[in-house]
Amino acid sequence: MSEARALCASAIAIVILAITSPNSALGLSARENFQRYCVQCHGPEGRGDGVNATKDLGATPKDLTNAEGLGRLTDDRVGEIIAKGGARNELSPLMPPWGNTLTGEEIRGLVRLIRDLCKCTFKP
């Protein structure tokens, strides 16, 4: 196969992948979405120590590894906070809403990722 044909075949493969990736605008994994949209505040490991987490931010991004704090929230509630943001959930408006950026499936993926970070589940 010539180089041009190989290139063309891989371009087609990429387009097919993009079209068929389930429910996702960019087709990113939960980890990739976290790296792209959350780390600047919550930090690379979710400890609430991202580059934006300075005194001047006005609210402390939650430590998502905190099992006690996250254990008080149901998965639905964590999803609501991510989708609708702090302002709509009696939290600081500095936690942005992501419902127009991420699909429901991507938000559920982030909830699962946060459960991995806190190594916790909802404790009624």
Point out which span in 9-17, 20-28, 85-93 binds ligand HEC (CB under 6 A).
Answer: 85-93
Point out which span in 1-9, 10-18, 22-30, 39-47 binds ligand HEC (CB under 6 A).
Answer: 39-47
Which of residues 6 and 31 has its CB atom nearest to ligand HEC in the complex?
Answer: 31
Which of residues 6 and 49 has its CB atom nearest to ligand HEC in the complex?
Answer: 49
Let me know how many helices (H) and strands (E) the chain has, helices first: 6, 0
Candidates 30, 37, 80, 120: give the one binding ligand HEC (CB under 6 A).
37
What is the Cα–Cα distance from 64 to 73, expressed in whole angstroms?
A: 12
On whether the CB atoms of residues 33 and 109 are closer than 8 A, the answer is yes
Candidates 30, 43, 65, 81: give the one binding ligand HEC (CB under 6 A).
81
With 0-12 CB in 10 A as exposed, 13-18 as middle and 19+ as buried, what is 113? middle
